[in-house]
Homo-oligomer: A and B are copies of this chain.
Amino acid sequence: MLLPVSTWQDIESWLKTSRTILIPIGSMEQHGPNGFVGTDALCPEIIAHHAEAQAPDEVLVGPTFSVGCAQHHLGFPGTITLRPTTMIAAMTDWTESLMRHGFERIYWLNGHGGNIATIQAAFSEIHSKRSFDPNGADNRPGLELKLRNWWDFSPVMKLCNQLYPVGHGSHATASEVSVTYFGYPDRARPEVEMSPKLAPNGKIGDAVQYRRDFPDGRIGSDPTQSNAEDGQKIVEAAAAAVLDEVKRFAA
């Protein structure tokens, strides 16, 4: 079920048999010369919606948390970021809203490496409320919060390595660009050329340093290899893995 296009009665029914929801979470940040600014939000959304289309009764997909932690990309136009403390506050509000309805397991399907730390810090902040409570704490059920990066499933990693033995990279990767081309085939950019073909590697600090060290935005990747057909394979592999894991998480 897709929460944003369901009614509240649909969600009420869902809660009779499940306490679990999946939230795609990403970022709005530059992804090099042929990747979309929304790549990191679009990837988990495409995968989650694909999973839901396969098995609408087995997963409830919430709205996409589409702007995350991307301060280091602010040197590139189009990037939008939350400060980590803002993101923690927003994730707390989302979570407490869902807890109000009886959700007890929230599965965050993440599309952005730069979000990982702040998502985990947010989990800790959210758990703090129950952890600090000297009495009543046991009266309400505990909450399970799970973070999963879509590329971390081993069949997905294997597939990506196989598709892009060279130039998969770590930002504006060949695989994530392919996923978005599968989702938005009309907007693919097969014509874009890049030089150097393989982007440099290095460490990440603030936005001034990032733009200086990674002039076109990519890190270690050659996404000119990306295409919608690859994207489809990746999405199918990831969606299957997500469905499987969500079912076990919900159990």
**A6-B114 contact given A86-B89, A131-B208, CB 8 Å threshold:** no
Contact with B along A24-42 (1 / 0, CB 8 A): 0000101111111110011
A98 contacts the other chain (Cβ, under 8 Å)? yes
Which residues on the B side are within 8 Å of A67 (C-beta)?
63, 90, 93-94
Bound-complex Cα distance A177 to B7 (A): 11
CB distance from A60 to the nearest CB of B (A): 9
Whether A74 and B97, one on each chain, are in contact in the complex, defined by CB atoms closer than 8 angstroms, is: yes
Whether A90 and B86, one on each chain, are in contact in the complex, defined by CB atoms closer than 8 angstroms, is: yes
CB distance from A251 to the nearest CB of B (A): 14
CB-contact partner of A90 in B82, B114, B125, under 8 A: B82
Whether A125 and B5, one on each chain, are in contact in the complex, defined by CB atoms closer than 8 angstroms, is: no
Bound-complex Cα distance A93 to B31 (A): 20
**A35-B7 contact given A97-B79, A98-B80, CB 8 Å threshold:** yes
Q: Quick one: copies of this chain in the complex?
A: 6
Which residues on the B side are within 8 Å of A86 (C-beta)?
86, 89-90, 92-93
Whether B208 and A137, one on each chain, are in contact in the complex, defined by CB atoms closer than 8 angstroms, is: yes
A201 contacts the other chain (Cβ, under 8 Å)? no
Contact with B along A50-86 (1 / 0, CB 8 A): 0000000000001110110101101111111111111
CB-contact partner of A11 in B71, B78, B131, under 8 A: B78
Which residues on the B side are within 8 Å of A93 (C-beta)?
67, 80-83, 86
Interface of A toward B, CB cutoff 8 Å: 3-12, 14-15, 28, 30-38, 41-42, 62-64, 66-67, 69, 71-72, 74-86, 88-90, 92-94, 96-102, 114, 116-122, 124-125, 127-128, 130-135, 137-140, 142-145, 180, 184, 187, 189, 192, 205-209, 217
